[in-house]
Amino acid sequence: MPKLSIVKIGGKVIDDLQSLSEFLTGFSLLPSPKILVHGGGASATKLAEQMGIPVQMVEGRRITDEKMLKVVVMVYAGWVNKQVVAMLQARKDDALGLSGADFNLIRSAKRPDQPINYGFVGDVKQVNTKKLRKLLEEDIVPVVAPITHDGAGNLLNTNADTIATELAIALSKQYDVRLGYCFEKSGVLSDPENENSVLKNLASSHYQQLKEAGNIHSGMIPKLDNAYRAVEAGVEVVKVMHHSDIHRWQPDVPPEKINFGTTLMIDE
C-alpha cells in the first residue's frame, strides 16, 4: 500500500506566526501524499472575548452555542485555514483548505443533548475517502479545519484531534498511514514536570498505569485516548511529537528508527 502522512498541528504554534512559519517549512519538506489537520489555538477564545461572547467549558471541552459556532468557523475554517494554505502555497505545496462541508468531506451528527449539552458539536459519521484519495493522487495537500457538517445545511464544531484520528482510520484501508500529533511538548512525558522524561514508546497498558498514577492528566487524556483509537484500528504508526520535529519525519525511515517523539503501541 502507498504511504500517507497525516499530521495534526494545534496549540500555541497556531497563534505564533514565527513558530507556524517554521512548522510549515518543515511540513513542506515531507513528501506527498500528506494531509494537514489543524486546530485553532487560543484565537477562537480570544475573538469570543473581544466580541463579548462568554466562553463556556465543561471538562476541558468548549460548549458551542450559536454565537460560538460562528466564531470557530470564522477562526478555524477562515483565518487559520487560509493563512496556512497561503503559506504552504508559498512553499510550493499545492494546498487546498477544506472544512467537512466542502466536497461533503466529513459528515457528522450533532451530539445528543444528554448527559451534557455541548451545543453545535458534531460526532463524525462518514469520511469521503474517495474524494480524499483523488486529491492525494493529484498531489494536492488537503489542509483540514476542524469543522464538519450534518448534510442538512448545518455546520458543526468537531475536535481537531478527532478529525485527524477519523481521517487516519478511514484512509488506513488504502494507505500505510503515519499519523503524527504535533504540539509543544517533545512527546508523552512519564513525569509531567520533567521535559526530559519523553517516552520513546508507550504501550496501552503502560498508558493506563500512568493515567491511574496521575502522571498523565487533563488535556493529554482525551488526546491519547483518541490516538489509541487510531492504533487499535490499524493505523501503521501513531506518534505524539514536538512540532519542531516535523522536518525529521521522513516516511521512508522504518518506525523503529524514528528517534523523536513517542510512538503509541498496543500490547501484543
Dihedral (CA of 169, 171, 177, 180) sign: negative
What track of x and - describes contact with a second copy for positions 132 through 161 (by CB under 8 A)? Answer: --------x------x-x-xxxxx------
- Residues 128 and 138: their CA atoms lie apart, in Å, by 16
Q: Is 131 exposed, middle or buried (0-12, 13-18, 19+ CB in 10 A)?
A: middle
Question: What is the nearest approach in angstroms of a second copy to the Cβ of residue 78?
Answer: 2
Q: Give the list of residues 6+ apart from residue 234 with CB closer than 8 angstroms, or none.
A: 169, 172
Alpha helices in the chain (DSSP H): 17-29, 43-50, 66-72, 81-90, 129-137, 160-171, 204-212, 220-232
**For residue 200, what is the enclosing H or E element?**
none
Q: Give the list of residues 6+ apart from residue 219 with CB closer than 8 angstroms, or none.
A: 60
Residue 52 contacts a second copy per CB under 8 A: yes
C-alpha cell belonging to residue 158: 468537531
Residue 51 contacts a second copy per CB under 8 A: yes
Residues 43/14, Cβ–Cβ less than 8 Å: yes
174 three-state secondary structure: coil
Give 141 or 265: the residue with its C-beta nearer to a second copy: 141
Short-list 96, 114, 119, CA closest to 32: 96
Residue 73 contacts a second copy per CB under 8 A: yes
Residue 94 contacts a second copy per CB under 8 A: yes
Candidate ranges 68-76, 117-125, 200-208, 217-225; the one touching a second copy (CB under 8 A): 68-76
Candidate ranges 27-35, 56-64, 82-90, 202-210; the one touching a second copy (CB under 8 A): 82-90
Give 102 or 198: the residue with its C-beta nearer to a second copy: 102
Question: What is the nearest approach in angstroms of a second copy to the Cβ of residue 180?
Answer: 23
C-alpha cell belonging to residue 12: 500555541
What track of x and - describes contact with a second copy for positions 11 through 50 (by CB under 8 A)? Answer: ------------------------------------x--x
1, 58, 90, 221: residue in contact with a second copy (rule CB under 8 A):
90
Question: What is the nearest approach in angstroms of a second copy to the Cβ of residue 34?
Answer: 16
74, 109, 203, 233: residue in contact with a second copy (rule CB under 8 A):
74
Residue 58 contacts a second copy per CB under 8 A: no
Which chain residues interact with a second copy by CB under 8 A?
A: 47, 50-52, 70, 73-79, 81-83, 85-87, 89-91, 94-97, 99, 101-104, 140, 147, 149, 151-155
